[in-house]
Amino acid sequence: MQKHEPTSTILDHMDEKTKYLTPIFGTEASDAQMPRLKMNDQPVEPRVAYEMIREYLSIEGNATQNLTTFCQTYMEPMATKIMAEVMEKNAIDKDEYPMTADLENRCVAMLGDLWHANPDEQPMGTSTVGSSEACMLGGLGMLFRWKQLAKDAGIDIYTAQRPNLVISSGYQVCWEKFCRYWDIEMRLVPLDADHLSLNMDTVMDYVDDHTIGITAILGITYTGKYDDVAKLDELVEAYNEKHPKLPIRIHVDGASGAMVAPFVEPDLLWDFKLKNVWSINASGHKYGLVYPGIGWVLWRGKEALPNDLIFWVSYLGGEEATMAINFSRSASQIVGQYYVLMRNGFAGFKEIHERTLDVARYLAAELEEMGLFVLYEDADHIPIVCWGLKDDADVPWTLYDLSDRLRMNGWLVPAYPMPANMQDTVIQRVVARADFSMQLAVKLVEDLKKEVATLNKARFVTGNTQGVINTGFNHGGRFAVNAGDKDQTKAPSSRK
């Protein structure tokens, strides 16, 4: 029989914080440790490693109850099966994996069809790691195109003022990154209580000869509202008639809405039907119904995508264009996107989104009936509900307190300030997704009413614990962060 080292001796060699041993599933590997600061000296049996990591992760929040994130938290078992089977394939290696490249091209073609691209204009597009990368590519397309037009028009693009991008103050942080990385001035059109999306009365005041383009947002991350892209197109067209040498074009950041609008609002004008919409991005991992890690960007035609952004790789004995910033990555999310497009078809996507909207609208109706809240968004376009406390609510608690109480029930429902010019307005937001069923929404409403009653009866309200410990929330790094007072949390830093 093998002689084991005394437990006291083992403990002497272990990290102070992990020295207390628990027998792991009846194996002799009960002294295996999860490494913290350096690798294990010896291997760990696969089943034990799996169970230890699984157990460690099990105390995290339930993804279905995470109403913070836009990202998909459910896919069908057969979808995850096919994705797992292609995880080792490198999506960028189009010569080695031509069938995967073909599925990517099919996805681009299907999205182009959804967004009314004209085949005669030779639309182009690519998958990306997420819609943040897609935004970067859309922005680069605007920048490179403006540089060429400005040179042709005799404008000094090097020593005069910097190029600028016009966008609402409800932007996602990826746009701030884009402007910082490429030394572009962000011209922010402020939001206010009467203009919770891009203000069409003032937007063109921000445009000049150094404007590379205007970004319209189809689903502002704070509230879910849509910018009026059709009205913006009219304004841009009028501007372009007066400035034929340096016309302005529109990029639509459709991270959320571009995968919802075609199915539930087919008559809404926002896409390539509009003359001045030259590029669109979307998150496949939001309402495109794929797990995190996939985005898309399309340009309406070859004129919209400068040649300097196109690289050519060997593909099926010929050459294939590639535009993405990232290089090596798994093909699994591309295959997953093709699966859900094929599996659901147009009718399936429509049913899923309409059902999700029904759930979100039920929640909005229940909140309104409570009489305490003002609704800033009631799932008019995408399944998002946003609310704030009424000025006359006369309650001794804040939305931060309500967020904390809901967290005790497992629900992650963030509270955060609105962007600049409205930073004194604090709201809460629920993002309904395909796995947020009506039964779960009923349970959320029950818990919400219960916690409101608890807070109303409480002698002591904890206050903004999120602000005290300075955590805020983060689900993907795509929210803009705005400075509020010291009692406010940071604005969400999402696309997630």
In the predicted model, what is the mean pLDDT of residues 276-282? 98
Backbone angles phi, psi at 485, to 5 degrees: -75, 175
What per-residue confidence (pLDDT) applies to 314? 65
- Predicted model pTM: 0.86
What per-residue confidence (pLDDT) applies to 483? 39
Task: Return left, alpha or beta for 463; rule: phi > 0 is left, psi -120 to 50 is alpha, else beta.
Answer: left
What per-residue confidence (pLDDT) applies to 342? 98
DSSP-assigned letter for residue 484: -
Residue with the larger pLDDT of the pair 491 and 43: 43
Question: Above pLDDT 70, what percent of the chain?
Answer: 85
Summarize pLDDT for 51-91 with one digit per residue, the tens: 889 989 999 888 999 999 999 999 999 999 999 999 999 98
Q: Is 17 exposed, middle or buried (0-12, 13-18, 19+ CB in 10 A)?
A: exposed
Backbone angles phi, psi at 210, to 5 degrees: -105, 15
Q: How confident is the model at residue 186 (pLDDT cuts 50, 70, 90)?
A: very high
Distance of CA 60 to the CA centre of its chain: 21
Summarize pLDDT for 110-150 with one digit per residue, the tens: 999 999 999 999 999 999 998 999 999 999 999 999 999 99
Question: Above pLDDT 90, what percent of the chain?
Answer: 70
For the cut 70, the answer to whether the pLDDT of residue 7 exceeds it is: no
For the cut 60, the answer to whether the pLDDT of residue 11 exceeds it is: no
Summarize pLDDT for 151-172 with one digit per residue, the tens: 999 988 887 789 999 999 999 9
How big is the chain, counted in residues?
496
- Count the neighbouring beta carbons within 10 Å of the beta carbon of residue 366: 18
What per-residue confidence (pLDDT) applies to 326? 80
Summarize pLDDT for 444-489 with one digit per residue, the tens: 999 999 999 999 998 755 555 554 443 344 444 444 444 344 333 3
CA–CA separation, 205 and 207 (whole Å): 6
